[in-house]
Structure 1
């Protein structure tokens, strides 16, 4: 908000218009008074208006009845089209908050899609939106081999740069991967950590996921040797990023059966392994097999118990999942009912955690049934889907 000379605030409002066949690009208007009028392009009886795109403003937007009906009709006819076409304007977006809002939605979709056969359609689409702004913003100015400090940027610029690096590395940008590997290799060879502090979590995780077992052992060693609590947390989470299921299993077992991982961090290890697509089934299986031990250790701490239940189940989403109790296979569509049976059979006194976890998983499965096919159809038709 920008205060004017009278002490009132100017409110930035992002808007877009569209109809059944297309969505226009986003525009920005400034609201200076309690009541005012703005002309927004050509609109007719079939054109809707959407305000506060990606919820970048901390306020609600209301519409007249006709506009609400058009928006509802649009969402019924093409639920994926509106948000994805709006995301298509991101390459031109220079501000942090729209990117931050969009990235939350993209990670939610990623959680639903990352084990599907057509996942590359989605990841390529995201990379296409991210590439130009990511390359324009670059990385913090110190690089391996440089003894200079990171140049200070404004908070918003620094956060946007971090957001873009995280998106680029998470969805497979090769230059982002090379830069992360370069940082890790420099750290190992020089024993000097020149990785900018505000992106260490991204670099550590990316390096562990791409590099060999020696890098995992290096991060494990650093986890034990550092005394900084915040750094230990980042290093421990990085260990869960490996694509090597043997190492993920090893970490799960060490966390619960030894004193090498602090007791208060055990639940975080299980949850973060579950967030890794390569570790999702491992964490879900481990959760069930070790439930008696986990419940004995954390059962009285309802917050920890709820955190574990929610964290280990939130990524379960396929029609083969959640109907499993004692086997090591994917689970079938009875899904959330079997999870409910497991929780009730084991007397999980976790308050609202049980119905909440069931609700989330049921919603994930429902999304796949109702929207997945249409979503990928939209991606195939979108002019922004091809990387070129």
Structure 2
């Protein structure tokens, strides 16, 4: 266990098949988002190798409950697998029980993709989720092409299990954040819309069934509404109007997107939402109303939202940071507005939050998390240099440096992946 406890990080396990000799070559290396960071790693007595049990199976092979196992005790290993023919996929880290990322040779990735597209249930739901997570994580490091990762999502319109959708939502959410100010964003919206439309018709609006089914329904409805499904948006608005006019309760799993679309256009419904936030007795419900109010794409409503967020008569000071989080992470048009308001009101925000251990850190992260261009990096570093002395001995200074590193990581992601994913979307969206 010492290599897992006494050195940082975790490995990428790569399975490369020798299709002529029916053998599997297995290798490991430390997982790094920045390949050049390898030179900055602290020395380890274990050389960033891990003793790793690797569970595996293949098409027509052992079950996902009782898979085969191979122990990798050094950098590389090899084992025969004559049972797996050249047109059968091999899958490792069954049900994601091992703490590592898994990579394969290109042909095996294609075989796995083909299996997902033809009969995804031949692979367990947990392993389907792991495949999606591994592919997108590896794409962020340049180990695989982003098109490979996107290809693994093409079957999702047939996916009826929660966990693969949760993983896909996480990574597609990051891609959405990276693309939202680019010309590729429209096609991404169409792609996600197409993936969820069939499921939207299936799951319906009755909040019934076991908990995982209810969570899946909520996830699909939220994605459908967020990515332009007019039927979903209209139904959400109808449910909000019924609640607003008659008090008919909205199911808890639906509240966020129902509140969001019911208040996004302004008017008395939005005033009602503000009243619910200001006068509510439940902290969690109050924060739900505040998040829902962030969902509008009307610039004037967002400007008023931010003005009120800075006024303690309207928004509690600890909740102001939540406002910046919602605009920076989730609103497709609010990021620049939040960044400008943050800089314009720096003196006031510094007085409020720089003395706290976490609040200023959270605020800086919220405002900058979506930065992904050299221009934004220059703006951030110029601003940081101008206000660094304000934070000497207070919270937030390290977060400015972390924000710069995060922006550089996002720029690297864009440099590696933007043009390829743009081409992929143009090819795969009608």
C-alpha spacing 1:264/1:155, structure 2 compared with 1 (3 Å): same
C-alpha spacing 1:186/1:337, structure 2 compared with 1 (3 Å): same
8 Å contact 1:322–1:339 — kept in the other structure? no
C-alpha spacing 1:132/1:341, structure 2 compared with 1 (3 Å): same
* Deviation (angstroms), 1:212: 3.3
1:117 equivalenced with 2:183 (yes/no): yes
Residue 82 (structure 1) aligns with: 148
Unaligned runs of 5+ in 2: 1-14, 20-57, 71-79, 110-134
- Within a 5 Å distance, the mapping from 1:119-158 to structure 2 comes to 119-139=185-205, 141=206, 150-151=207-208, 153-158=209-214
Q: Secondary structure at the match of 2:237?
A: helix
1:279 equivalenced with 2:318 (yes/no): no
C-alpha spacing 1:314/1:30, structure 2 compared with 1 (3 Å): same
C-alpha spacing 1:365/1:35, structure 2 compared with 1 (3 Å): closer
* Deviation (angstroms), 1:309: 0.7
Residue 242 (structure 1) aligns with: 296
1:337 equivalenced with 2:381 (yes/no): yes
Residue 308 (structure 1) aligns with: 363
* Deviation (angstroms), 1:176: 1.0
* Deviation (angstroms), 1:84: 0.6
* Deviation (angstroms), 1:194: 2.4
**Aligned-partner Cα distance in 2 for 1:79–1:121:** 19
**Aligned-partner Cα distance in 1 for 2:152–2:59:** 11
Unaligned runs of 5+ in 1: 1-14, 20-25, 142-149, 325-335
Residue 324 (structure 2) aligns with: 270
Tell me how many residue pairs correspond in the alignment.
Answer: 333
**Aligned-partner Cα distance in 2 for 1:38–1:345:** 62
Q: Deviations over 1:238-293 (max 9, x none)?
A: 11112222222222222223322112211112222333222211110111121221
**Aligned-partner Cα distance in 1 for 2:373–2:280:** 39
* Deviation (angstroms), 1:337: 3.4
User: Which residue of 186, 206, 225 maps to 2:261?
Assistant: 206
1:257 equivalenced with 2:311 (yes/no): yes
C-alpha spacing 1:137/1:228, structure 2 compared with 1 (3 Å): same
* Deviation (angstroms), 1:49: 4.8
In the superposition, the TM-score normalised over structure 1's length comes to 0.75
8 Å contact 2:377–2:408 — kept in the other structure? no
1:31 equivalenced with 2:31 (yes/no): no
In the superposition, the TM-score normalised over structure 2's length comes to 0.69
Residue 120 (structure 2) aligns with: none
1:347 equivalenced with 2:391 (yes/no): yes
Residue 379 (structure 1) aligns with: 425
8 Å contact 2:239–2:250 — kept in the other structure? yes
Residue 43 (structure 1) aligns with: 86
Residue 222 (structure 2) aligns with: 166
**Aligned-partner Cα distance in 2 for 1:127–1:27:** 31
**Aligned-partner Cα distance in 1 for 2:107–2:387:** 41
**Aligned-partner Cα distance in 2 for 1:237–1:245:** 16
**Aligned-partner Cα distance in 1 for 2:388–2:405:** 15
Q: Secondary structure at the match of 2:372?
A: coil
Residue 96 (structure 1) aligns with: 162
C-alpha spacing 1:259/1:237, structure 2 compared with 1 (3 Å): same
**Aligned-partner Cα distance in 2 for 1:63–1:102:** 17
**Aligned-partner Cα distance in 2 for 1:88–1:40:** 29
1:59 equivalenced with 2:59 (yes/no): no
8 Å contact 1:243–1:278 — kept in the other structure? yes
C-alpha spacing 1:341/1:264, structure 2 compared with 1 (3 Å): same
Q: Deviations over 1:39-93 (max 9, x none)?
A: 997527xx9855469xx634346779x8499879x96696112111101111222
The higher-RCO structure (CA 8 Å, 6+ apart) is 1
User: Which residue of 223, 230, 233 maps to 1:177?
Assistant: 233
